[in-house]
Amino acid sequence: MATPASLWKKGIRLLSLSFGVKINFILGLGLAILIAVGSIALRSVDSLVDASSEENHAFSAISSLERVVGAVRRAESAARKYALTGEATDLSRYRSARSLVITTRSELDMGGSSIAQDHRLSQLRTVVGESLDRFDELSRTRQQSGAAAAAALVRGGRSDEASLRMQILADQFRDTEMRTLRNLAMETRLIADNTSFLVFWGLAFAFALLVWAMLIIHRHQAGRLSAEAALKASEAQLRLITNAVPALIGYVNRDGRLLFHNRAFEQWFGRSESELRERSLASLMGEVEYAKVASQVGRVLAGESTSFDFPLHMGSRGILHLSVQLVPRLEEAAKERVPGFYALATDISALKEVNRLKSEFVTTVSHELRTPLTSIRGSLGLLAAGVTGALPDKARQLVQIAVQNCERLVRLVNDILDSEKMLSGKMELKITRIDVAALVRRAITETEGYARQHGVTVQLMEAGGKVLQVMGDNDRLLQVVINLLSNACKFSPQGGVVEVALRLEAGQVMVSVANRGPGVPKPLQARLFERFAQLDSTDAQRRAGTGLGLNICKSIIEHHGGRIGFAEREGGGSLFHFTLQLAADGGADAQQDSRSGQAGQQPVG
Amino acid sequence: MQALERIMLVEDDPDIRTVVVMALEMVGGLQVEACESGAQALEKVAAWAPQLVLLDVMMPGMNGPEVLGAFRARADTSAIPVIFLTAKAQESEIQALRDLGALDVIPKPFDPMTLTDAVRALWDRHQKA
């Protein structure tokens, strides 16, 4: 049901409709109103024409009646005069009056405005006929029987009676017609009033709609103009910003054409705006250079954002080291097909140079440190071993401290170099097929002395009867296991056991190294694998490390596509573990292995 | 198989020279002729007739690879096995030195107590080959 509230809501909805719908609705409504007003006016005119013809008919009926009654009176008067005088001239007057009555009586045949009036007219015609018969009788009596007989006929009074009847009928007819005329006049006035009211308000409403439509059109036009102006201003501002940015900013469509570019493109490529407009990326970069990024373009057109570093060879203009980000244009309408992508490329040549210098610096410093370290370590080593003669106890103790710290310094230099290699992406992996158990056993052997020094036993739990092989760099993976083992030994209590376990889990080889040491303090756990994570530690043992070992382990494992992690052990202690992808056919049963089926513990060291 | 007894060391750093000589002589019981430059080594090599040469890589004047080249160019020294001593730790650099025809590369710093063992092990491997 249409309540006022719902109508109001509909009205509001109309106001919020689009421009086109609104204008069509208003003009349609206006046209409908004009058609309605026109048809009403047409019907009113028809009614008025009908009323007018009825009016004319009534008037002519009344005037015909008046003429007939007048002619009858004149014929009666002429007949009476002839009856008195008997003169031929009076008889002639009567005869002409009589013929006038005959002529005018035919006008009464036109009919009245109703059946009652028609009846009255018919009676009138009869009365007129009777009157003429009496006048003829009177004139005949005068001619044949003389004046006395005619006078006797007049005195008989029949003529007065007929005259009276005629007069009554004529009056009744006239009154009725006059009443009809009055009604018609009232009806006509009413129609005219209504029609003029409807036409006036209809036209006024149509005019109001027209004005409304014009206002809407005007507002729409003004809005569009101001929106265009705002768009132009915003575009100009955007262009200013993109032109000011010292990076390549562009939009490339699916066909690989540059539809938008900022000024940096013109400057870096040495091309004019018109040369760049809609130019294909391949022709701008050169086919050879473009081929290097084609796969990235393919990825972004598949809807994936990508970022990569890219050295763009620009012929005689040298190499431009770019950090590139490609972002697909994703729109609701084009969900299934990326229409193009945005490209942002920053010149990182300076950054590359700084990185190269830093890398060179670290390498040089590391080399320069090694030379004096060789002398120091050599001298201290010889001294501590007593090659130059036995040292007093205190001196031997001090030399031992110097040897240990010298070794730590050597490790630090090595770790810094490793860390730098990983950061600069220069770590080279020599990938071979590796038996993980053999690798772990070698690591245990290498750390044997260190474990003994800390009074720690290392136990290896191998995966039951399986030879687990991975593809990796043997030296680097050995470095990881040695690092984890050394840490575990270092933080184990005297007489403690370090457990090393190998497991196969969902195609991944998992190596874990666990001890029963004090564990890793909570605040350190979250950043355990970050560089120099242990720096703020005050623990003397912790300080003996370089702070880079775990970070290097993480890098090595991640370079192998694996993951490294840490967990607290129930009942105290830490568990470090890493996973590596099992090589294809790398999980054969070790039937020839003497330890197969044992799946047990193999104490080492 | 011939036992290793006579060695020539070419090292420009006097401190390292001293340490290496002491390690090889006092710990390893070898006879060592120490040279401070490549030129000096080329001058003394004929007289000393070492079984093996320990050669530093970075030296003023002739560097290690250049000295190795000179050894290989002379008929009397072309067959002497050479072990490089280097403070350069990059794998690629070490591999490049091996590819020059050296027996192996011993990175600096090294443990003076096991240096002779390492050298003897390489000597034995060379003898067997």
Over residues B4-31, the pLDDT tens digits come to 999 999 999 999 999 999 999 999 999 9
Closest CA to B83 of B2, B26, B22, B4: B4
Tell me the per-residue pLDDT of A140-155, one tens digit each, with 9 for 90 and over.
888 888 888 888 888 8
The residue of chain B with its CA nearest to that of A373 is B109
Q: Which residues of B touch A378 (CB under 8 A)?
A: 16, 19-20, 22-23, 109-110, 112
- The structure tokens listed for A587 are 């999980």
- Min mean pLDDT across A28-37, A393-402, B86-95 is at B86-95
Report chain A residues whose CB lies below 8 A from the CB of B16: 371, 374-375, 378
Of A13-22, A261-270, A474-483, B99-108, which range is least confident? Answer: A13-22
A243-252 pLDDT per residue, tens:
998 899 999 9
Alpha-carbon distance of A111 to A122, in angstroms, equals 9
Inter-residue contact A344 to A325 (CB < 8 Å): yes
Beta carbons of B89 and A377 less than 8 Å apart = no
Facing residue for A378 by CB, picked from B19, B89, B92: B19
pLDDT beyond 60 at A596: no
Q: Count how many Cα atoms sit within 13 Å of the Cα of residue B86 in the half-sphere of its side chain.
A: 23
> Cβ-count burial of B75 within 10 angstroms (0-12 exposed, 13-18 middle, 19+ buried)?
exposed
Judging by beta carbons within 10 Å of its beta carbon (0-12, 13-18, 19+), is residue B91 exposed, middle or buried?
Answer: middle
- Mean pLDDT confidence for B77-97: 88
Q: What is the CA radius of gyration of chain B?
A: 13
Q: How far is CA A179 from CA A108, A168, A302, A319, A417, in A?
A: 19, 16, 93, 113, 127
In this complex, is the C-beta atom of A381 within 8 Å of any C-beta atom belonging to chain B?
yes
Those residues whose C-beta lies under 8 Å from the C-beta of residue A218, and which sit 6 or more positions away, are none
Q: How far is B7 from chain A (nearest CA, A)?
A: 18
Interface check for A478 against chain B (CB to CB < 8 A): the answer is no
Q: A401-438 as b/e, with b when 16 or more CB fall inside 10 Å?
A: ebbeebbebbbbbbbbbbbbbbbeeebebeeeebbbbe
pTM: 0.55
Question: Is B108 in Cβ contact with A370 (below 8 Å)?
Answer: yes
Chain A CB within 8 Å of residue B23 CB = yes
Q: What is the model's pLDDT at position A486?
A: 92
First-to-last alpha carbon distance for chain B, in angstroms, is: 11
For residue A84, what are the contacts with CB-CB under 8 A and spacing of at least 6?
A147, A150, A151
Q: Contact, B32 vs B9, CB < 8 A?
A: yes
Q: Mean pLDDT across chain A, nearest whole number?
A: 85
Q: What percent of chain A has pLDDT over 70?
A: 92
Model confidence at A563, in pLDDT bands (50, 70, 90)? very high
CB contact under 8 A, B27 and A387: yes
Residues in chain A: 605
Question: Which has the higher per-residue pLDDT, A538 or B91?
Answer: B91
Does the pLDDT of residue A104 top 90, yes or no? no
Average pLDDT score over residue span A87-104? 88
Contact B110 A410 (CB under 8 A): no
Using one digit for the tens of pLDDT, what is the confidence trace for B71-86?
999 999 999 999 999 9
State the Cα–Cα distance between residues A319 and A316, nearest whole angstrom: 9
Token reading at B75: 């008929």
Q: Tell me the chain B residues in contact with residue A385 when contact means C-beta distances shorter than 8 Å.
A: 27, 112-113
Q: Which two tokens stand for residue B100?
A: 């020059």
User: Per mean pLDDT, which range of A301-310, A315-324, A392-401, A528-537 is the poorest?
Assistant: A528-537
Arithmetic mean of pLDDT, A188-199: 89
Q: Provide, rounded to the nearest whole percent, the portion of chain A with pLDDT above 90.
A: 30
Across the interface, whether the CB atoms of A428 and B91 are under 8 A apart is answered yes
A604 pLDDT band, cuts 50/70/90, is: very low
Q: Suggest the residue from B91, B93, B115, B116 to mutate for an interface test with chain A (most A CBs closer than 10 A).
A: B91
Residue recorded with tokens 């130059």: A388
| Least Cα separation, residue B48 to chain A (angstroms) | 25
Q: How many residue contacts between A and B have a Cβ separation below 8 Å?
A: 74
ipTM comes to 0.90
Query: Residue A116 pLDDT more than 90?
Result: no
Per-residue pLDDT for A542 more than 80? no
Contact B27 A377 (CB under 8 A): no
Asked whether residue A345 carries a pLDDT value surpassing 90, the answer given is: yes
Chain B residue at shortest CA distance from A429: B91
- Strand order of the β-sheet with A306-313 is A258-261, A247-253, A340-347, A319-328, A306-313
Rounded distance, CA A298 to CA A303, Å? 9
Q: Which residue has better confidence, A410 or B9?
A: B9
Judge: B16–A374 Cβ closer than 8 Å, yes or no: yes
Residue A539 confidence (pLDDT): 54
Per-residue pLDDT averaged across A183-209, rounded? Answer: 89
Top-confidence range, A406-415, A589-598, B30-39: B30-39
**E strand map for A488-562:** 497-505, 508-514
- Alpha-carbon distance A302 to A293, whole Å? 14
pLDDT band, residue A603 (cuts 50/70/90):
very low
pLDDT reading at A591 higher than 50: no
Averaged pLDDT for residues A73-80: 88
Cβ neighbours of A499 (radius 10 Å): 19
Ranges A176-185, A401-410, A420-429, B75-84: which has the least confidence: A420-429
| pLDDT bracket for residue A598 (50, 70, 90) | very low
